[in-house]
Amino acid sequence: MSRIGKKPVTVPEKVKVQIANRTVTVEGALGKLQWEHRPEIDVVYDESSKTVVVSRRDDQRQNRALHGLTRALIQNMVVGVTEGYERRLEIHGVGYLGTVQNQRLELRVGLANELHVPIPGGLDVSCPDPQHILIRGIDKQLVGQFAADVRALRKPEPYKGKGIRYMGEQVRRKQGKAMVK
């Protein structure tokens, strides 16, 4: 049986959880999230102990995989509405910079044109300084996907390390042709 799926999700005091017709709704101080779980999985909210219990109907391979996944997604929803999620990106390179204007992230990253990335609803994107991007939100998947999309616009290259990378990411460097001789 799934070790992750067996653990109940503890719900903090100020968080409301409702389950109706396979739709799990979690509401907290930072916002409200909804998600519809698969029919093979049963989700029950125990009001007295303030826990959400996830169970599966049988031991088929797909149901075993969905068991732990469902529990993890509900846990992420609870953490999202209480604490929120954030991703930090660094911009490395001479003349490379980022700014936020009119719900768009504007990037100058060594291309002929400036890149304009629309910021999806539900995210708070800011640039504390031109070399750093801070992405915040309550939906873990949305925060991570937007950060990955921004990073994919100019991945760090291995020779000089220029590009957009996650905060603290180690870029594997190559020597280059001049160092071989």
CATH number, domain with residue 93: 3.90.930.12
Residue 180 has pLDDT above 80, yes or no: no
Residue 40 in domain: yes
Structural domain includes residue 171: no
Share of the chain above pLDDT 90, in %: 88
Q: Are residues 129 and 155 in the same domain?
A: yes
User: Do 70 and 112 fall into the same domain?
Assistant: no
Q: Is residue 179 part of a domain?
A: no
Q: What is the pLDDT of residue 5?
A: 87
Residues 104 and 145 occupy one common structural domain:
yes
**Do 105 and 73 fall into the same domain?**
no
Percent of the chain with pLDDT over 70: 97
Domain boundary among 82, 99, 119: 82
Separation of alpha carbons 47 and 11, rounded Å: 10
Looking at the fold, whether 59 and 90 belong to one and the same domain comes out as no
* Residue 37 amino acid letter: H
Structure confidence at residue 177 as a pLDDT band (50, 70, 90) = confident
Does one domain contain both 31 and 46? yes
The reply to whether 107 falls in a domain is yes
Residues 89 and 160 in one domain: yes
Number of domains comprising the chain: 2
pLDDT at residue 2, rounded to an integer: 59
Separation CA 124–CA 152 (nearest Å): 19
Q: Are residues 44 and 57 in the same domain?
A: yes
Residues 70 and 30 in one domain: yes
The pLDDT assigned to 179 comes to 64
Q: Domain check: are 63 and 94 in the same one?
A: no
| pLDDT bucket at 3, cuts 50 / 70 / 90 | confident
Cβ–Cβ under 8 Å, residues 124 and 100: no
Q: If you average pLDDT over residues 118-141, what whole number do you get?
A: 96
Q: What are the backbone angles phi and psi of residue 66, rounded to the nearest 5°?
A: -70, -25
Range of the domain at 78: 3-82
Q: Which of 66, 82, 98 is a domain's end point?
A: 82
Res. 1: pLDDT tops 60: no
**Res. 158: pLDDT tops 90:** yes
Distance between CA atoms of 73 and 105, rounded to whole angstroms? 28
- β-strand pairing of 163-166 with 132-137: unpaired
Whether 95 and 160 map to the same domain: the answer is yes
What is the 8-class DSSP label of residue 93?
S
Same domain, 113 and 147: yes
Last residue of a domain, one of 61, 82, 103: 82
176 belongs to a structural domain: no
Decide if 174 is inside a domain.
no
